Amino acid sequence: MKKHVYKIRLSFAIFVFVLSVLAFLGLFYPLKIFDVQFFPLLQRVIVDFSVFSLCAVIGLLLLTLIFGRFYCSLLCPFGILQEIVSFLRGKKINKQAGNFGFKYLIAALVFGSLIGGSSLIVRYFEPYSVFGSLATLSLYGIIFTVVVIVFTLFKNRFFCINLCPVGAILGLISKLSVNKIYIEPEKCVSCGKCSSVCPSGCINLEDKTIDNETCIKCLKCLSGCPNGALNFGVKPQKFSFNRRRLVWGLGALAVLGAGYTLGLNLVKNTIGKFKNIILPPGAISADNMVNKCLNCNLCINMCPHGILVKADENFPAVHIDYTKGKQSCEYKCNNCSFVCPSGAIKKISLEEKQKTRIAIAKVDESCRYCGKCEKVCPKGAISYIKTDDSSLPKAFIDETKCIGCGKCQKVCFHKSIKIFAVDEQTVI
């Protein structure tokens, strides 16, 4: 069985990776695989609490505590991408990734800012967000991935072991996991085959030990050992004091506090800064969106009308641009709410979406009523009136009914209707 566990694990990982790519391309999203991504789940617990999110986070932590860092080799698309790169590279270069304490400081900064209320720091390091940025061909995602791939070519999964904030947290939990990979010294002949295939550099042949904190449970070593000296299961562990880890831990606590303060300040500095930004239904407000959106861009390709756009110079998060695509928000669609993994776009039903005002339409004096806007308005908010100074009727928009979907602006022949953002979305 040991000879086949790696192939089984790898097959499942590739399946997850293919689903991930299809999802970001907007082609196939049946299993909502990103609803079990660690960081988005954790943020959803904080900003958009649900029983599912809490149970999923607890479930991932418990599985890590029992089995170790399987998340990194089974569910993280960015981690799996690095494994694919290593596989394509072959065995020409195979240096260990090492294990440096700097990752604890990054994790402390990222988690601290998230607890402080802002995801602006998170999106630059969190692997799911970076993968989404890459999959949607955003410049940052491309540059970041190229740098990581270069490291991967020479140092295997360097990012996963030394930079990833999710890996740092799950690694600490994995160190306490019930089941670990371990070496039976009496069977080991120090042939080096296990360490030569280990992408994490976690195997020490001198004292025949494995660092299960950095081990991502890829299971390559189990399949490669000719004597069956490696096992995965329960092994009694002796406690050992490590002064170096203590120093890194104290440093991480200090950075956690700094990250929390930074998060609070980022939230404070964004309040009221962005005006006239139209957001997808469920995003609530510009302040909420800019501080909660991970810029994974999953919602963009899921939008059937193509009006959702990436972060730009006007707004540092996903938003609506009615000059793009079909120039209106589809009344019978709540895809963006359905797929958002972070809670930046609150999960709302289609019925609630159809009652959520995301903007407001206004008509100016150039209107020469043709009746097109009245016909397409899904809320029946448009009628026509005759004015005293003209024999021509003009469109009248009942603002108590308008949800700002943009359909009227799209069909207006005289360009007399404009859509304006609202400060905060409301259900009418």
Q: In this predicted model, what pLDDT tens digit does every residue of 186-222 receive, in sequence order?
A: 899 988 888 888 888 888 888 898 988 889 998 888 8
Least confident range of 363-367, 390-394, 414-418: 390-394
Reported as a single tens digit per residue, the pLDDT across 272-293 is 889 899 999 999 999 999 999 9
Least confident range of 126-135, 159-168, 185-194, 237-246: 237-246
| Average pLDDT rounded to a whole number, residues 15-22 | 88
**How far apart are the C-alpha atoms of 43 and 150, rounded to whole Å?**
30
| Average pLDDT rounded to a whole number, residues 23-42 | 76
| Average pLDDT rounded to a whole number, residues 225-233 | 88
Q: Is the pLDDT of residue 271 over 90?
A: no
Q: Is the pLDDT of residue 240 over 60?
A: no
Average pLDDT of the chain?
87
Quote the pLDDT of residue 422. Answer: 95
Tokens of 336: 């963006």
Q: Is the pLDDT of residue 245 over 70?
A: no
Least confident range of 211-215, 253-257, 332-336: 253-257
Quote the pLDDT of residue 291. Answer: 92
How large a percentage of the chain has pLDDT more than 70?
91
Q: Are 97 and 161 in contact (CB under 8 A)?
A: yes
Cα-flanking dihedrals φ and ψ of residue 184, to 5°? -90, 105
Quote the pLDDT of residue 374. Answer: 92
Reported as a single tens digit per residue, the pLDDT across 60-100 is 999 999 999 999 999 999 999 998 888 887 765 455 556 67
Q: Are 131 and 20 in contact (CB under 8 A)?
A: yes
What would the DSSP string read from start to end of 323-343?
A: TSTTSS--TT--HHHHH-SSS
**Range(s) for CATH 3.30.70.20 in the chain?**
286-427
Quote the pLDDT of residue 144. Answer: 95
Residue 308: its H or E element: strand 308-309
Quote the pLDDT of residue 237. Answer: 59
Quote the pLDDT of residue 52. Answer: 81
**How far apart are the C-alpha atoms of 59 and 126, rounded to whole Å?**
20
What is the b/e burial string over 237-272, where b = at least 16 CB atoms within 10 angstroms of the residue's CB? eeeeeeeeeeebeeebeebbebbbebbbebbeebee
Quote the pLDDT of residue 349. Answer: 94
Q: What pTM value is reported for the model?
A: 0.85
Q: Are 70 and 63 in contact (CB under 8 A)?
A: yes
Which residues, at least 6 apart from 17, have a Cβ–Cβ distance to it below 8 Å? 77, 80, 81, 84
Q: Which fold has domain 286-427?
A: Alpha-Beta Plaits (3.30.70)
**How far apart are the C-alpha atoms of 415 and 409, rounded to whole Å?**
7
Least confident range of 17-21, 39-43, 86-90, 361-365: 86-90
Residue 237, SS3 per DSSP? coil
Q: Is the pLDDT of residue 391 over 70?
A: no
Residue 362, SS3 per DSSP? strand
* pLDDT tier, 4 (very low <50, low <70, confident <90, very high otherwise): confident
Q: Is the pLDDT of residue 104 over 70?
A: yes
Q: Is the pLDDT of residue 261 over 80?
A: yes
Q: Are 326 and 317 in contact (CB under 8 A)?
A: no
Quote the pLDDT of residue 283. Answer: 95
* pLDDT tier, 42 (very low <50, low <70, confident <90, very high otherwise): confident
* pLDDT tier, 414 (very low <50, low <70, confident <90, very high otherwise): confident
Q: Is the pLDDT of residue 46 over 60?
A: yes
Please identify which residue in the block is written with the tokens 């988690």: 111
Packed helices 127-135 and 2-24: angle between N→C axes, nearest 10 degrees = 60
| Average pLDDT rounded to a whole number, residues 328-356 | 93
Q: Are 385 and 397 in contact (CB under 8 A)?
A: no
How large a percentage of the chain has pLDDT more than 90?
45
* pLDDT tier, 403 (very low <50, low <70, confident <90, very high otherwise): very high
Separate counts of helices (H) and strands (E) for the chain: 19, 10
| Average pLDDT rounded to a whole number, residues 1-28 | 84
Which residues, at least 6 apart from 273, have a Cβ–Cβ distance to it below 8 Å? 286
**How far apart are the C-alpha atoms of 320 and 322, rounded to whole Å?**
6
Q: Are 262 and 109 in contact (CB under 8 A)?
A: yes
Quote the pLDDT of residue 279. Answer: 97
**How far apart are the C-alpha atoms of 39 and 34, rounded to whole Å?**
10
Please identify which residue in the block is written with the tokens 């029983």: 51
Quote the pLDDT of residue 390. Answer: 57
| Average pLDDT rounded to a whole number, residues 92-110 | 74
Q: Is the pLDDT of residue 264 over 70?
A: yes
**How far apart are the C-alpha atoms of 257 and 243, rounded to whole Å?**
22
Quote the pLDDT of residue 238. Answer: 57
Quote the pLDDT of residue 244. Answer: 67
Cα-flanking dihedrals φ and ψ of residue 210, to 5°? -130, 130
**How far apart are the C-alpha atoms of 102 and 97, rounded to whole Å?**
14
